[in-house]
Amino acid sequence: MQKLIARTAILYEGKMYAIGEELPANNPQMVDAWTAAKTAVWKDAEEVTTPVKAVAQTAEPGLPGKAVASESEDGDDLVGKVPKTAARKKK
């Protein structure tokens, strides 16, 4: 069975479909428009792979300086930055 896969970011019915995501094929007019504009292609279900998410590679926000009450466990004092503590780590 074939699936309609987005080749560019597409906003449709209030949902943003990223590159590589499956698009709904319930509206033949939109399917024809997407395929004609080459923003979507039909692929076999075996060929479809999940898109890879990128990891942010930017510097953390904050200004170097003396914090008034540093709770940071790593010893960094950055003004305007939420401290990294065990309680604040994502699980």
CA distances from residue 91 to 4, 74, 83 in whole angstroms, order as listed:
34, 19, 16
**Confidence band (pLDDT; 50, 70, 90) for 85?**
confident
pLDDT above 80 for 35? yes
**pTM of this prediction?**
0.53
Whether 39 and 4 have beta carbons less than 8 Å apart is answered as: no
Please answer whether residues 3 and 46 qualify as being in contact, where contact means their C-beta atoms are separated by less than 8 angstroms: no
List phi, psi (to 5°) of 46.
-75, -25
Q: Is the CB of residue 25 less than 8 Å from the CB of residue 31? A: yes
pLDDT tens digits, residue range 14-23? 999 998 899 9
> Tens digit of pLDDT for each residue in 72-84?
556 555 566 666 6
Mean pLDDT of 50-76: 63
d(CA 64, CA 80): 9
Q: What is the pLDDT of residue 6?
A: 93
The number of helices, as runs of H, and strands, as runs of E, in the chain is: 1, 6
